[in-house]
C-alpha cells in the first residue's frame, strides 16, 4: 500500500481528487515551468511529469500525482495570466472561438511512471466587454490557465466537447484509471 501525494496546491485539483475516495496528502512541487518550443499537449505533459518527479524525489516511497493544465488557441498557449490586463487579453482572444484545454496527468512511484494527456474542446460565447471586466475584477481568473474557470458561474462557455473535470484541472476518469494501473492500493 502506498501513500498518494498530490504535487499541487490547487484547491480545484484537491477537490477533484477527493471525489475518487482515495486518502492523499499535499506536497506542492518546486518544479520550474519552462517550455520553449513545445506544443500545448507536450507542455501540459512535461509540466505534469516535472511536478510529479520533483515531489517524488522528496518522497520516494509514495505514489505521486502531478498535473498541469494549459489552454491553447491555435498555436498560442495560455497559461495563468500575469495580471488583470493579461486576463482581459486572454478572454478577448477566446471570445466567440473554440479552443483546446489540455491537462497532463503523471503518476510516479518506485515502480515507474505512467502518464496521459486529455484534451477538451471549449467554445466560448461572444463575450461582452462588461462581462470580461466584471469577471476579471472578481479576481477569479487570475490563478487559472486561460484566465477562466468553467466552474466559476460566469456565462463564458457555449459548448464543451469532452471532460469537464479536465477543464477544471484534473480529468477524474483518466486519473482513476492511472491510479488503478498502479494497483490502486492507496493508504
Q: Is the distance from CB of 145 to CB of 166 less than 8 angstroms?
A: no
CA 19/CA 97 separation, integer angstroms: 31
| Alpha helices, H only, 129-169 | 129-137, 164-168
Indicate the helix (H) or strand (E) that contains 38. Answer: none
Give the whole-angstrom CA distance, residue 39 versus residue 17: 26
112 alpha-carbon distance from chain centroid: 22
Active site residue 143: no
CA nearest 29: which of 4, 2, 49, 1? Answer: 49
Element (H, E) at 107: strand 98-109
Q: Which of 68, 83, 143, 152 is catalytic?
A: 68
What are 161's strand-pairing partners?
Answer: 121
Q: Which residues are catalytic?
A: 68
Amino acid at each position: 500500500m502506498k501513500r498518494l501525494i498530490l504535487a499541487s496546491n490547487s484547491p480545484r485539483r484537491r477537490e477533484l481528487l477527493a471525489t475518487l475516495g482515495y486518502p492523499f496528502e499535499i506536497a506542492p512541487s518546486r518544479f520550474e515551468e519552462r517550455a520553449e518550443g513545445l506544443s500545448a499537449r507536450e507542455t501540459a505533459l512535461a509540466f505534469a511529469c516535472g511536478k510529479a518527479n520533483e515531489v517524488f524525489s522528496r518522497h520516494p516511497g509514495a505514489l505521486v500525482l502531478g498535473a498541469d493544465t494549459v489552454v491553447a488557441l491555435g498555436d498560442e498557449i495560455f497559461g495563468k495570466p500575469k495580471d488583470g490586463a493579461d486576463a482581459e487579453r486572454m478572454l478577448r482572444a477566446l471570445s466567440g472561438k473554440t479552443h483546446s484545454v489540455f491537462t497532463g496527468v503523471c503518476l510516479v512511484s518506485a515502480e515507474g511512471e505512467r502518464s496521459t494527456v486529455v484534451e477538451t474542446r471549449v467554445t466560448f460565447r461572444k463575450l461582452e466587454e462588461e462581462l470580461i471586466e466584471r469577471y476579471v475584477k472578481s479576481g477569479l481568473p487570475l490563478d487559472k490557465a486561460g484566465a477562466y474557470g468553467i466552474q466559476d458561474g460566469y456565462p463564458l462557455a457555449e459548448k464543451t466537447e469532452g471532460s469537464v473535470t479536465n477543464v477544471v484541472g484534473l480529468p477524474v476518469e483518466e486519473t482513476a484509471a492511472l491510479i488503478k494501473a498502479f494497483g490502486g492500493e492507496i493508504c
